[in-house]
Chain A
């Protein structure tokens, strides 16, 4: 029964969802609304489980004396944010109120830290492009040529070098890129349909792993 019940829940839910999409009338239409509410509730609870799992994992690491500094910093950061969030709600009525302490750490800690982490990509991409983009084969040369045209066409300097550069870059995006993207999308969609059918029919049971 440990395998059959999850399979039945999964298969019936999926079939009801498909039926509700194609038959938006009673009783399926109403059922779909109910399922959407359940979905929102499950997503919300899943976030709570995620927080619990993250904290538990780092607490265990501290107890095992593995990466104590990083794990302690994570738990400390979580607690500070949580306490300031609760305090801001009590004092300002909303954690996101403009002058609340929560917004202070959001604006002056989280935003600069995350933006900096993302900005580091520019350094790594420059280094990786220098090392990896070599004209070893015809295909690699074509890719390189397309990359150079798009890189130039997407910035004002490209238009200053040659006025037709932005249009050329746009053509690459709208014709060859689009053809490849569409192929990938169709492939992904067919793969998703296949995977969904496997789950509905019980051939694949990812929820039991």
Chain B
């Protein structure tokens, strides 16, 4: 008993790493599919965007970097596909880091091309500005105070999409896709002070801390992690990167649960032999 307990409690780290690699790689190589169940926070986000009238201007904060790119990019693809399908006008901006803008603009260009949307008419890239609290509050007065031009130096008054956009009164929704603290500032300043509806998309580990804002109604919806992206893709009937990643994620979660189970059996066997 003691020997078995020791074996189960001391599985080599390299063996665990190999198992993780296999459960991630194999479902992707074999093309295994998984059925995604939609949860309420994601459904709320979808329904709110779906209820916006065509032509409404929405602002998307690209506040995640290359490290969380695989988890967050599927959300952006799904949200943009839904927005363009609904003929909404989209503006992107980055407040956390300058390198977030190329991530967002590449996805924006690709999805806009899919739906035949034109720059300056259907979508705009506002670029990056440091000092996110100050920027968010300033947009409440006049967006030109902080973004007089788009990311390419064109004045906002010269672009049809932004000509009549001045402050949050002209913005139907703010979506912040964040891997840092910007989402909280959008809620504290843009939503609480100026009343603009906010939806947030965050990494899976950040999901639990966002729930109080969902229950209080300060955010209209919450998309958390790759699973959230997969749920949104299911809702728009366009399975893509999120849905494709679900079998691998299922595999890792089940492996971790099995490892915890094995570790605990080993622990209990050792404890029993000691007593």
| A130 in contact with B134 given A98-B106, A181-B209, A182-B212 (CB within 8 Å) | no
Q: Assess whether A174 is in contact with B215, with CB atoms less than 8 Å apart.
A: yes
Question: Which interface class (under 10, 10 to 19, 20 to 34, 35 or more) fits B?
Answer: 35 or more
A129-B256, A166-B39 known; A40 vs B66 contact (CB < 8 Å) = no
Chain B residues near A33 (CB-CB < 8 A): 138, 141, 145
Query: Which of B53-61, B77-85, B167-175, B247-255 contacts the other chain?
Result: B247-255
| Residues in chain B near residue A135, CB distance under 8 A | 264, 267-268
Cβ A122 vs Cβ B11 within 8 A: no
In the complex, A65→B254 CA distance in Å?
Answer: 47
Contacts of A134 in B (CB 8 A): 263-264, 267
Closest chain A residue, CB of each to CB of B243: A156
* Residues on A with beta carbons closer than 8 Å to the beta carbon of B208: 173, 177, 181
Let me know if B109 is at the binding interface, CB within 8 A. Answer: yes
For A69, the chain B residues whose CB sits under 8 A away are none
**In chain B between 140 and 176, which residues have their CB closer than 8 angstroms to a CB of chain A?**
141, 145-146, 151-152
Q: In the complex, are the beta carbons of B129 and A40 less than 8 A apart?
A: yes
Beta-carbon nearest neighbor of B17 in chain A: A123
Determine if B67 and A157 form an interchain contact, defined as CB atoms under 8 angstroms apart: no
> Do B253 and A157 have beta carbons less than 8 Å apart?
yes
A122 touches B252 (CB 8 A): yes
Residues of chain B with a CB closer than 8 A to A113's CB: 66
Could you mark each residue 88-122 of chain B with 1 if its beta carbon is under 8 Å from any beta carbon of chain A, else 0?
00000000000101110110010000000000000
Chain B residue with minimal CB distance to A169? B39
Cα–Cα, bound, A127→B204 (Å): 19
Taken together as a complex, chains A and B put the C-alpha atoms of A111 and B71 apart, in Å, by 13
Known contacts A36-B134, A98-B106, A110-B99; A154 and B227 CB within 8 A of each other = yes
Binary interface profile of B, 11-29, with partner A (CB < 8 Å = 1, else 0)? Answer: 1010011011100100000
Question: Within the complex, what minimum Cβ distance (angstroms) separates A92 from chain B?
Answer: 11
Number of interface residues of A (CB under 8 A): 58
Asked if A155 contacts B249 (CB within 8 A), the reply is yes
A126-B16, A130-B259 as given contacts; A156 in contact with B215, CB under 8 Å: no
Do A117 and B67 form a contact, CB below 8 Å, given A43-B131, A129-B260, A173-B207? yes
Contact between A44 and B131 (Cβ–Cβ < 8 Å)?
yes
Knowing A115-B67, A134-B264, the reply to whether A178 touches B212 (Cβ < 8 A) is yes
Apart from the given pairs A122-B20, A126-B259, 11 other A-B contacts in the complex at a CB distance below 8 Å: A44-B131, A111-B69, A129-B260, A130-B11, A144-B260, A147-B260, A148-B257, A155-B250, A156-B35, A157-B250, A177-B211
Chain B residues near A (Cβ < 8 Å): 11, 13, 16-17, 19-21, 24, 34-37, 39-40, 65-70, 99, 101-103, 105-106, 109, 129-131, 133-135, 137-138, 141, 145-146, 151-152, 204, 207-209, 211-212, 215, 225, 227, 246-247, 249-257, 259-260, 262-264, 267-268
Residues of A within 8 A of B (CB): 32-33, 36-37, 39-40, 42-44, 47, 93-94, 96, 98, 103, 106-107, 110-111, 113-115, 117-119, 122-123, 125-127, 129-131, 133-135, 144, 147-148, 151-152, 154-160, 166, 170, 173-174, 177-178, 181-182, 184-185
